[in-house]
Amino acid sequence: MSHPHPELSQPPGLAAHGLRVVALGGLGEIGRNMTVFEHKGRLLIVDCGVLFPEADQPGVDLILPDFGYLEGRLDRVEAVVLTHAHEDHIGAVPYLLREREDIPLVGSRLTLALVRSKLTEHHLVPETVEVREGNHGSFGPFELEFFSVNHSIPDALAVAIRTQAGVVLHTGDFKMDQLPLDGRLTDLAGFARLGGEGVDLLMSDSTNAEVPGIVRSERDIAPVLDDVFDNAEQRIIVACFASHVHRVQQVLDAAAAHRRKVAFVGRSMVRNMGVARDLGYLRVPGGLLIDLREAEEMPPGDVVLISTGSQGEPMSALSRMAVRDHQIRIASGDTVILASSLIPGNETAVYRVINGLTRLGARVVHKESALVHVSGHAPAGELLYVLNLVKPRNFMPVHGEWRHLRAHARLAALTGVPAKRIVIAEDGVVVDLVDGKASITGAVPCGYVYVDGLTVGEVTETQLKDRRILGEEGFISVIMVVDATSGKIAGGPEIHARGSGIDDGAFSEVLPRLEDALERAAADGIGDVHALRQLARRVVGKWVSDNYRRRPMIIPVVVEV
C-alpha cells in the first residue's frame, strides 16, 4: 500500500488520457468532503462540505476545504455532484458559489431542496440539475451514472464516473440496511453490474471500517421507542439530527400510536422537516403537529418534542433545558431520548447535558443505554460485500481519519485487491489513474480555511496558536511610555493582566525590578523601542516563571510621546 510522504511535491502534468483525483477535504478527517476529478483539462467536483472545529481550533465556526487548488480554473468546473445533503457534503457550497455562482449543482430531489433552502439564507440561487438513481448524464468529458444508496438521510446517491481513463465508482456515504424504512436499498445489483463491466477505481466510505459486523436496521429502533414511550410519565423530548428524516418518522409514528402531539424545536429541525414533508419524504398524520407554544400549554403527558441539540451544542434548546435556561422546564417524570450518534470530541458536552437533565429529574435514554440509534455508515462486514461485488482494479478508501482509511485498505487487501493497487491518500495528495493503474504522483498545497464570524480564511494558524496560549495561560501586557525626543521613560511601566491566574496586587513585586532594569538600561544608553520591549519581556517572564511556573503571553508595549 502506498501512502503519502511529506516529501511529495507538485505533480507532473497529467497524461492526456489520464484522470486526476485530488481530495481537498475528507481524507484523514471526517468532514469537509470534496474531491476534484480532472480529465482533458476539465474538472468535476464530488461534494463540497464543511468540517466542524475541534477544541484546539478555538473560536472557529467552520472549516472549509481549501479552494486554492481551483484558483484560476473555476471556469473549467463542469459541475458539483452532491451525493447527499449532510453538512459535511454540502456545507461549503455557499462559499464555493461565492467564487463562481453558476456552477451547476447535481443531486437528488431532496438533496437539492435542502441545499436550496440553505443557499437562500446566503442569498444565493443556484443552477441545479436534478437526478435520480438509474439516471445517466454528461458533464463535459465526464459521463455520470447514479445509484441509490441507503444512508441516514433519504435520497442519497453513489456516482459512477466514466472517462477515457476508465470507470470510477464513488459510493458517497452509505450503509446496507436490508429493510430500509423507505424500501430504497443500496443498489448492490447496480454495483455488481458495474463490477462486471470493470471498475478501475473504487472510492468507498471508510467511516466504520474499524467496526466489525453489520449495522442493525433503522426499523429495529421502533420497538425500543415504543417501550420508552410506554413507560414515559410526563413530557417526552427526542433529540436527533435535523436531517434524519427516517428517525423523525419513527418518532412521529410512536407519538401517533401513543396519542401524543408533536412539536419541532430548533430552526434547522423545523426547516428541514418542512422541506421533507412538502416533498413527501416525511409522512405526518393530520393533526399530529402542534407548535411549541401549544405544546407548553398542554399536559406534559400528551406531548412529544423533537429537538436539535443531540451533540450538546451549548446554544441548542436541549442544552438550555439542561441548565433551566429555556421555556420548556424539565421536571421529574420527563423522559429525554438522545436518538443520535455521539460524534468523537462531543462527549464532554453531551454528558454534561445528560447530567444536567438527570439532575432536574428527567430519565435520559441514550445509545449507550438502549438501541435508540444505528449508524449511517457501513461497517467492515458490509464494506466487504461492496469490495467483493465491485472487484475494483484499484482501491482508494475515502471519508475517514487515518485509522479508518488504513482499516478499509486492509479489508480491500483481504478481498484480493493487490497491495500496490491500494492507494491511501490524504487531503491534497494527487492520485492519477493512467493506463488502468492508480498511483500517487504528488501533492498540492491544501490547508485549513477557517470561517470565523464574517470572515473566511482570515484566521490563520498563528492566530489560533495565540488563542491557544491566551486560553491556557492568559496574558500580561507591560506598557511603557517613552519620550521620543529624550528617549527617557515618561510614563509607566504599567502592568495589565487577564487570565494569567496572578493576582493584580502581586505585580507590585515585579514593577520595582522592572523600573530598576529600565533605569540601568537608560544609564547604559539602551533606549530603542525593540530593546526596551525585549527587556520588559525578559524581566517579567523570568519573574512569572520563577514564582508561578507559568508561561502567559507577555506583551511589552512602548508608546512614544
- For 1, other C-beta atoms within 10 Å of its C-beta total 18
Q: Is 500 in the site for its own copies (CB under 8 A)?
A: yes
Closest C-alpha to 320, from 357, 267, 367: 357
* Contact pick of 261, 477, 521, 522 for its own copies (by CB under 8 A): 477
Which one, 53 or 180, has the nearer CB to its own copies?
53
Q: Is 453 in the site for its own copies (CB under 8 A)?
A: yes
Residues 210-229 binding its own copies (CB under 8 A) are 210-211
- For 337, other C-beta atoms within 10 Å of its C-beta total 29
* Contact pick of 502, 510, 518, 540 for its own copies (by CB under 8 A): 502
* Contact pick of 479, 521, 522, 529 for its own copies (by CB under 8 A): 479
Least distance (Å) between residue 299 CB and its own copies: 24
* Contact pick of 278, 369, 435, 542 for its own copies (by CB under 8 A): 369
Binding mask 56-95 for its own copies (x = CB under 8 A): --xx------------------------------------
* Contact of 20 with 431, CB cutoff 8 Å: yes
Classify residue 546 as left (phi > 0), alpha (psi -120 to 50) or beta. Answer: alpha
Least distance (Å) between residue 367 CB and its own copies: 12
Least distance (Å) between residue 490 CB and its own copies: 5
Name the phi and psi angles at 560, rounded to 5.
Answer: -95, 135
Binding mask 410-449 for its own copies (x = CB under 8 A): ----------------------------------------
Residues 174-213 binding its own copies (CB under 8 A) are 210-211
Closest C-alpha to 172, from 77, 33, 281: 33
* Contact pick of 485, 503, 505, 523 for its own copies (by CB under 8 A): 503
* Contact pick of 364, 389, 390, 532 for its own copies (by CB under 8 A): 364
CA distance 309 to 353: 9
Stretch that binds its own copies, among 50-58, 78-86, 290-298, 507-515 (CB under 8 A): 50-58
Kindly state the cell numbers that stand for 475. 496574558
**Residue count of the chain:** 561
Q: Is 334 in the site for its own copies (CB under 8 A)?
A: no
Which one, 219 or 352, has the nearer CB to its own copies?
352
Which one, 78 or 426, has the nearer CB to its own copies?
426
CA distance 490 to 213: 74
CA distance 48 to 126: 14
* Contact of 304 with 255, CB cutoff 8 Å: yes
**Distance between alpha carbon 528 and the CA centroid of its chain, in Å?**
48
Show Cβ contacts of residue 452 under 8 Å, excluding neighbours closer than 6 positions. 59, 60, 61, 458, 459
| β pairing state of 475-482 and 553-560 | parallel
Q: Is 347 in the site for its own copies (CB under 8 A)?
A: yes
Kindly state the cell numbers that stand for 248. 423523525
Kindly state the cell numbers that stand for 31. 468532514
CA distance 88 to 86: 6
CA distance 294 to 251: 19
Name the phi and psi angles at 380, rounded to 5.
Answer: -50, -45
Which one, 266 or 492, has the nearer CB to its own copies?
492
- What is residue 425's three-state secondary structure? coil
Q: Is 499 in the site for its own copies (CB under 8 A)?
A: yes
Show Cβ contacts of residue 444 under 8 Å, excluding neighbours closer than 6 positions. 10, 11, 22, 69, 428, 430
Which one, 88 or 452, has the nearer CB to its own copies?
452
Least distance (Å) between residue 489 CB and its own copies: 10
DSSP per residue over 436-494, as a string? TEEEEEEE-----EEEETTEES-S-HHHHHHHHHHHHH-EEEEEEEE-TTT--EEEEEE
Q: Is 368 in the site for its own copies (CB under 8 A)?
A: yes
Q: Is 401 in the site for its own copies (CB under 8 A)?
A: yes
* Contact of 238 with 364, CB cutoff 8 Å: no
Q: Is 313 in the site for its own copies (CB under 8 A)?
A: no
* Contact pick of 120, 138, 231, 547 for its own copies (by CB under 8 A): 547
Q: Is 498 in the site for its own copies (CB under 8 A)?
A: yes
Size of the site for its own copies (CB under 8 A): 67
* Contact pick of 217, 415, 439, 463 for its own copies (by CB under 8 A): 463
Q: Is 231 in the site for its own copies (CB under 8 A)?
A: no
- Residues near its own copies (CB under 8 A) are 3, 28, 54-55, 58-59, 210-211, 344-345, 347-348, 351, 354-356, 358-359, 361, 364, 368-369, 401-403, 406, 452-455, 458-459, 463-464, 466-468, 470-475, 477, 479, 481, 490-492, 494, 496, 498-503, 547-550, 553, 555, 557, 559-561
